[in-house]
Homo-oligomer: A and B are copies of this chain.
Amino acid sequence: LETSESKITGYFAKMSNLNPIDFPIGIGDDMAQMCFGGLDTALITTDMLLDGTHFDLSIHTLEQVGYKSMAESLSDCAAMATIPFAAVVAVALPKGFGSDQLKEIHKGLLKSGDMFGCKLIGGDITTWGDQRAKLAVNVTVLSKPAATPPIRRSTAKAGDIVCVTGTLGGSIQGKHISFIPRVKEALEIARIASPTAMMDISDGLSTDLTHLTRLSNVGAIIDEALIPISEAAANTRFPLMAALNDGEDFELLFTLSEENFHKLCDNWRMDTPVTSIGRITGKKVLIRYNDGSLKDLLPRGYDHLRNEL
């Protein structure tokens, strides 16, 4: 069931040979964690966004591109329930782009960064030599742990409830470019309910739940009837498939004990819905369809090495 992306990530993780005192969290999670010798610790994530893959300049404005480029990294900060505080950006400009285009990208970067107090502190500007080359924007964000330690992908426990925030699927119709990263929701979930594992859904629920369970060495059963299908997905031909596989939902996927799940339900005051969709159990990732059948949940979302969104 391993995708080519998870195989190569595993290879890099094995090669990296990190000292766990300096680097408690390394390759394979939403962010890497560093200690600085003193008491302080920070986390880091980097994301490359490409014209034609993550955005489309024939549809989207440069301000939207800047907004999404920062928001995608902020979603990684949310994924670990950490507080974003600084970002650097590097842009590869197509021929003919100059300071006017940069200012639009910059406006978008500030718009998403400012929502969570994440400051843009540096960058790099370069231009493609090739006449036909397209815009690439790379954002790196640093975050700090909140009151709780960073929440990892690899620590889900048998018996846990599996939850998601918001609704899933159909993001390509608009949400993928304008979503609000779930930073505040993540911090509130961590504060109320001590989740055992968490990540953001960027590659599609089927693929990301496969990542989370594999890294945690557990399985899961989710219920078709419980999946919160977005309005955008409901209007497509296969709403359930859209919710399971579309990707770029930028919602949170997390696991927690049954007791903490009830605590969360009792104390949740935010507008964003939280839904339980199943349970951590066994070794396989399964879905119970409404007709009662139980089938393998195949990771049919985005594979970063195959570009088959």
Binding site for B on A (CB under 8 A): 4-5, 7-9, 11-12, 15-16, 18, 22-23, 26-27, 29, 31-32, 34, 36-42, 44-50, 52-54, 85-86, 88-93, 95, 98-99, 102-103, 106, 110, 119-130, 132-134, 136, 138, 140, 142, 144, 304-307
Q: Report the Cα distance A140→B95, complex, angstroms.
A: 24
Are A123 and B12 touching (Cβ within 8 A)?
A: yes
From B11, B36, B130, give the contact of A103 (CB < 8 A). B11
Q: Tell me how far the C-beta of A45 lies from the nearest C-beta in chain B, rounded to whole angstroms.
A: 7
CB-nearest residue of chain B to A308:
B127
Among all A-B residue pairs, the 7 with the closest Cβ atoms: A36-B40, A127-B307, A32-B122, A48-B90, A40-B40, A32-B121, A138-B138
Q: Report the Cα distance A120→B32, complex, angstroms.
A: 10
Q: Tell me how far the C-beta of A290 lies from the nearest C-beta in chain B, rounded to whole angstroms.
A: 35
Are B93 and A305 touching (Cβ within 8 A)?
A: yes
Q: Report the Cα distance A39→B132, complex, angstroms.
A: 48
Are B48 and A121 touching (Cβ within 8 A)?
A: no
Are A126 and B307 touching (Cβ within 8 A)?
A: yes
Are B52 and A130 touching (Cβ within 8 A)?
A: yes
Are B129 and A48 touching (Cβ within 8 A)?
A: no
Q: Tell me how far the C-beta of A232 lies from the nearest C-beta in chain B, rounded to whole angstroms.
A: 21
Answer whether A305 and B134 are a contact pair too, CB < 8 Å, given A46-B89, A90-B47, A91-B48: no
Are B32 and A129 touching (Cβ within 8 A)?
A: no
**Copies of this protein in the complex:** 2
Answer whether A307 and B128 are a contact pair too, CB < 8 Å, given A122-B27, A134-B133: yes
* Contacting residues, chain B, for A15 (C-beta < 8 A): 106, 110
* Contacting residues, chain B, for A5 (C-beta < 8 A): 125
Are B142 and A90 touching (Cβ within 8 A)?
A: no
Q: Report the Cα distance A110→B15, complex, angstroms.
A: 9
Q: Report the Cα distance A125→B4, complex, angstroms.
A: 11
Q: Tell me how far the C-beta of A154 lies from the nearest C-beta in chain B, rounded to whole angstroms.
A: 14
* Contacting residues, chain B, for A89 (C-beta < 8 A): 46
CB-nearest residue of chain B to A5:
B125
* Contacting residues, chain B, for A31 (C-beta < 8 A): 122
Are B42 and A39 touching (Cβ within 8 A)?
A: no
Are B128 and A305 touching (Cβ within 8 A)?
A: no
Q: Report the Cα distance A42→B41, complex, angstroms.
A: 11
Q: Tell me how far the C-beta of A207 lies from the nearest C-beta in chain B, rounded to whole angstroms.
A: 14
Q: Tell me how far the C-beta of A21 lies from the nearest C-beta in chain B, rounded to whole angstroms.
A: 12
Q: Tell me how far the C-beta of A204 lies from the nearest C-beta in chain B, rounded to whole angstroms.
A: 15
Q: Report the Cα distance A307→B126, complex, angstroms.
A: 7
Are A129 and B307 touching (Cβ within 8 A)?
A: yes
Answer whether A46 and B129 are a contact pair too, CB < 8 Å, given A40-B36, A86-B34, A98-B4: no
